[in-house]
Amino acid sequence: MKADFSLKNLGKTPTPFFNGRWFTAFASILILSVSGGTYLFGLYSQHVKSSLGYDQTTLNLLSFFKDVGANVGIIAGLINEVCPPWVVLLIGSLMNFSGYIYLWLAVNGDELVKPQVWQMCLCLMIGANSQTFTNTGALVTCVKNFPESRGIVIGLLKGFVGLSGAIITQLFHAIYGNNGKSLVLLIAWLPPFVCCALLRYVRVLKAMGVPSVLDVALAILGFCFGAMAPLIFSIISELFGLKHYATLLNFGGAASPIGAYVFNVRLVGHFYDKEALRQMAALGLFRKPGDHLTCIGIECYRSSFLIIAAASFVGCIISYILVLRTRKFYKGDIYKKFREQE
């Protein structure tokens, strides 16, 4: 079956592998990592000056309009309010390509392009203004997908915007060598290419669940339990010997039902019933004797999972302490005394 990448499907959910806010964040990082073409004006400005015969005043005028385009993003914000992110990113890609490709043709002395100063100012402003579209489309989407971590998200994405100048420079030297005029060409095609390739993955996700993610989590927990169970009983025999191993073995095995009662019955069951009763009260319903309780939503298990995760973390710390305390013991020959007895 062939994938349909037409514009009418850009707002739809892609394959399950990419159906998550983390891949959206990854795609946004890639887009912003190549969106800093405005920071490289100093690298190619001398080529613009020499190719078009501009004086320093004219070059500074071009730089001024470039700064205006790079910092005035009101239009991008207004469009993002009424359109999905892919529309904003697509507009930004078109603006980036049209602005910088015109600049590249002018710098290379193309006979079809005989620009006036105002035309150069306009094309630079359009090309630089594309950065506000990519910033808005990618950054705002990630902030909406991670509302509780917006500070970290903004800092991370803005950090990659700052690094984008260095990233593009290294790619330029790897692809074009030291041909300064080709830097403008790279800025013209690279950001639109990356942006269009990841266009359909930058979207606001209302539901954060990923298909089969619970199966993966259960599989990991099952492997962890299967790895810990035999280790515990082996460690008991090695540390305390075999004289009272039968008793110690059963004491170790008793930890499992005790933990199941504490966490499953007293913790998970309590919070589940509490949330179910709260939901019934919110709907104006009352529980009759004998009626079962049904809880819907992530709040049913949120607190329970957080507490269990914290308990697991404490268990990791205790395991690490056990490693430190038994390191010297396990460095020696722990089975030497058994061989001597034989």
Q: Which residues of the chain have pLDDT under 50?
A: 1-7, 10-11, 13-14
Q: Looking at residue 207, what is its pLDDT?
A: 53
Q: CB-side exposure of 211: number of CA atoms within 13 Å? A: 7
CA distance 203 to 192: 17
Let me know whether 186 and 101 are in one domain: yes
Give yes or no: residues 148 and 253 share one domain: no
Contacts of 13 (CB under 8 A, 6+ apart): 19
User: What is the rounded distance in angstroms from the CA atom of residue 327 to the CA atom of residue 218?
Assistant: 31
Tokens representing residue 113 in the block: 């392009």
Structural domains counted in the chain: 2
Residues 235 and 194 in one domain: no
Count the Cβ atoms, other than its own, within 10 Å of residue 269. 13
Assess if residue 1 is contained within a domain: no
pLDDT score for 57:
87
303: phi then psi, degrees, rounded to nearest 5: -65, -40
pLDDT of residue 339: 63
Q: Name the residue range of residue 67's domain.
A: 7-201
Tell me, yes or no, whether 87 lies in a domain. Answer: yes
Residue 231 in domain: yes
> 252 and 111 in one domain?
no
Tokens of 171: 């790619």
Among candidate residues 126, 273, 80, 108, the one with its CA nearest the CA of residue 179: 108
Same domain, 122 and 233: no
What's the confidence (pLDDT) of residue 100? 92
**Same domain as 217, residue 80:** no
**Within-domain flag for 206:** no
At position 25, the amino acid (one-letter code) is: A
pLDDT of residue 321: 92
Domain annotation covers residue 154:
yes
- Complete DSSP assignment for 174-238: HHHTT-HHHHHHHHHHHHHHHHHHTGGG----S----TTHHHHHHHHHHHHHHHHHHHHHHHHHH
Residue where a domain stops, chosen among 171, 201, 231: 201
96 lies in the same domain as 55: yes
Based on the domain organization, do 220 and 282 belong to the same domain? yes
Q: Given 158, 176, 201, which residue is the final one in a domain?
A: 201
Per-residue pLDDT, 337: 63
Nearest to 327 by CA among 319, 315, 316, 335: 319
